[in-house]
């Protein structure tokens, strides 16, 4: 291929890389932020069953304590019952015991349903923990990749800029000016490959004669539609 065209192709690669890298540099902190937010809201969501489980667990402990206190009360009242002098007082104490026993019964029924609910929740919590573990791994890996990218991006940009400066030194000034002008008008792409008669920049067909010429001529040719400098590239040939 023509030497000057080869230089332009390499220059185009540098320019495109630099555009990509600088937009990536701008976007990476936003992406990291988004990843954090998504993970945090996922975390909040998946902790719901665990929160419910913990609440129920402490309700269970409370209920057990209530029963303990009721039992103690009942024992004491029964002891006092032996010392009672009059019938009225005796009846009142029996009633007291009755009330205590019936609320103990209610609490025991409640405990049974709490235990059933805890059983169901513990299965869900276990599943959630597994899902959370996997998602956390994925999140941490993605985050690490992003951080690595952000750490190396400045060095990458410097590398490509250096390459770019070296290349520009070797391209003739008028050609460089032409390339810059076309590039500016065409979303940053001044040099483009053509394969099977199609310009890969504007995706329009190249006339057959021009396509033939492109594969043979030493002249620099431009796409009749988008004006980009063209080069022939066999896309089926391994690079
Ligand atoms: Zn074109």
pLDDT tens string 74-133: 999 999 999 988 999 999 999 999 999 999 999 999 999 999 999 999 999 999 999 999
What separation in Å is there between the alpha carbon of 188 and the centre of ligand 1? 13
Model confidence pTM above 0.85: no
Rounded distance between C-alpha atoms, residue 103 and residue 133, angstroms: 43
What separation in Å is there between the alpha carbon of 226 and the centre of ligand 1? 4
What separation in Å is there between the alpha carbon of 191 and the centre of ligand 1? 10
CATH 1.10.287.1490 domain span(s) along the chain: 3-170
Q: Which CATH architecture has domain 3-170?
A: Orthogonal Bundle (1.10)
- E strands, the chain, in order: 191-195, 198-199, 229-232
What separation in Å is there between the alpha carbon of 200 and the centre of ligand 1? 7
What separation in Å is there between the alpha carbon of 210 and the centre of ligand 1? 12
> Which two three-digit tokens encode residue 30?
């936003």
Rounded distance between C-alpha atoms, residue 118 and residue 22, angstroms: 53
Phi, psi of 18 (to 5 degrees): -65, -40
How do residues 186-210 score in pLDDT, each as one tens digit? 999 999 999 999 999 999 999 999 9
pLDDT at 1: 64
How do residues 155-192 score in pLDDT, each as one tens digit? 999 999 999 999 999 999 999 999 999 999 999 999 99
Query: Helix %, strand %, coil % for the chain, to 5?
Result: 75, 5, 20
What separation in Å is there between the alpha carbon of 202 and the centre of ligand 1? 4
């Amino acid at each position: 291929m023509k030497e000057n065209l080869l230089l332009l192709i390499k220059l185009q690669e540098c320019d495109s890389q630099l555009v990509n890298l600088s937009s990536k540099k701008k976007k990476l902190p936003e992406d990291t932020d988004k990843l954090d937010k998504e993970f945090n809201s996922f975390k909040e969501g998946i902790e719901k069953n665990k929160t419910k489980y913990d609440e129920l667990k402490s309700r269970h402990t409370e209920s057990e304590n209530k029963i303990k206190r009721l039992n103690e009360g009942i024992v004491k009242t029964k002891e006092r019952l032996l010392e009672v002098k009059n019938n009225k007082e005796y009846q009142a104490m029996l009633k007291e015991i009755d009330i205590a026993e019936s609320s103990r019964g209610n609490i025991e029924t409640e405990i049974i349903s709490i235990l059933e609910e805890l059983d169901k929740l513990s299965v869900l919590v276990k599943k959630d923990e597994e899902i959370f573990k996997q998602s956390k791994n994925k999140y941490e890996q993605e985050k690490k990749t992003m951080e690595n990218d952000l750490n190396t991006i400045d060095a990458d940009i410097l590398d490509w800029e250096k390459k770019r400066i070296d290349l520009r030194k070797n391209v003739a000034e008028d050609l460089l000016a032409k390339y810059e002008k076309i590039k500016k008008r065409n979303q940053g792409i001044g040099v483009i490959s053509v394969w099977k008669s199609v310009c890969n920049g504007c995706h329009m067909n190249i006339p057959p004669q021009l396509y033939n010429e492109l594969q043979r001529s030493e002249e620099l040719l431009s796409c009749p539609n988008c004006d980009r400098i063209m080069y022939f590239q066999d896309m089926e040939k391994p690079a």
